[in-house]
Amino acid sequence: MISAATRVAAVIGDPVRHSLSPLLHNAAYRALGLDWVYVAFEVPAGRAAAALDAAAALGLVGLSVTMPHKADAARRCDVLTPEADRLASVNTVTVLPGGRLEGDSTDGEGFLRSLREAGHDVAGGRVLVLGAGGAARAVAAACERAGAAVTITARRAGAARAAAAAIGVDHAPWDARPGLAAAAAFVVNATPVGMSVPGTPLPPDSLGAGQVYVELIYHPAETAMMAAAAAGGAQVVGGLGMLVHQAALQVERWTGLAAPLGPMREAAARALAAR
C-alpha cells in the first residue's frame, strides 16, 4: 500500500518502457519488506541533469540510469566512484543526505559477480571483449581490475582503439577475432549480434573445451552463439546474471541490505519468458 511514507526510486531512460528494472527492484523491496516503490520515467535525451536535480529535490532514494543518459549523469553527479569516474558513465545515482548526488557504475561488478556465481574467475586469464560500447567498456574495465589480460575488438577499429585507450587495455582488428577467440580463456559478446541483429558474433565453431563464452544478451536466454559454443565443448554464461547483479548492487547501495537475488531473478525470468 503506497502511503505518505513510501520511499521512491526510479529508472530514467529513453526508451524505458520495456525496462526490467522496475520488476527487479520492486521484487527486491517486497522481499525485504520495505515500504519502497520503483517506477520508470521516460526522460528525453538532454534532460538527464534536470531529472537528477528533480530526484534530489523530491528526495528520491536514487535513480538507475540507462541509455541515452549515462554520460550526462556522470557529468551532473557531485561525486563519482572510481569505477564511474574511469568510465565517465553512471548507471546508479544515489541521493546523499543533503541532496548531493553520487554516481556509480555497477555493470562491471555485476558482470564479475555473475561470472563468480557461475564458478568462473577471470584473474590471470585472457579475456576477449567483442564490441566497444558502454557495456564492453564496463566489462573490460572490471576484468582488467580483476587481474585479466583484456583485448577489445570492434567492427570499427577507431571505436575499439578509443575504448581500449580509455581503459588501458589492448585492442585488435575485428577480422582477427577468430584467432584471438581461440587463444582466450573468456570471450564476451558485448554486441547486439544474436539479439536485434541475427547471426553469431564469431564463426560458430570458434570455441571449445576449456573456454568460457559469456553472452551479455539476456533475451533470448540462449543465443545461437551460446548454443554453438556449448556444442563445441565450451562453458557458457548468459546475460541474465549480469542484469540481476547490476540491479542487486543498486539495491545494496540504497538499502544497506543484502539483495534478495532469488526473487529478483525469478521476477526477471518470468517477465522474459512471457515476451
- Chain residues that interact with ligand NAP, rule: CB under 6 A: 107, 131-136, 154-156, 159, 190-193, 195, 197, 216-218, 239, 242-243, 246
Q: How far is the CB of 191 from ligand NAP (least distance, A)?
A: 3
**Cβ closest to ligand NAP, residue 95 vs residue 186:** 186
Task: Cell numbers for 166, please give them.
Answer: 580509455
* Gap between the Cα atoms of 255 and 233, Å rounded: 41
* Gap between the Cα atoms of 268 and 51, Å rounded: 26
Contacts of 176-180 spanning 24+ positions with Cβ under 8 A? 177/128, 177/130, 177/153, 177/201, 177/202, 178/202, 178/203, 178/206, 180/128, 180/151, 180/153
**Cβ closest to ligand NAP, residue 64 vs residue 94:** 64
By DSSP bridging, strand 62-65 and strand 92-95 are antiparallel
Task: Cell numbers for 42, please give them.
Answer: 521516460
**Cβ closest to ligand NAP, residue 56 vs residue 259:** 259
Active-site residue, selected from the candidate residues 25, 69, 70, 76: 70
197-230 core/surface letters (b: 16 or more CB in 10 A; e: else): eeebbbeeebbeeebbbbbbbbbeeebebbebbe
Backbone angles phi, psi at 13, to 5 degrees: 180, 175
* Gap between the Cα atoms of 237 and 154, Å rounded: 21
**Cβ closest to ligand NAP, residue 90 vs residue 190:** 190
**Cβ closest to ligand NAP, residue 56 vs residue 134:** 134
Q: What is the DSSP letter of 199?
A: S
Q: How far is the CB of 209 from ligand NAP (least distance, A)?
A: 25
Q: How far is the CB of 1 from ligand NAP (least distance, A)?
A: 31
Instruction: Tell me the sheet residues that pair with 250.
Output: none
**Cβ closest to ligand NAP, residue 228 vs residue 242:** 242
In sign, the C-alpha dihedral spanning 243, 19, 79, 139 is: positive
* Gap between the Cα atoms of 31 and 20, Å rounded: 17
Residue 70 among the catalytic residues: yes
**What phi-psi label fits residue 33: left (phi over 0), alpha (psi between -120 and 50 degrees) or beta?**
left
Known catalytic residues are: 70
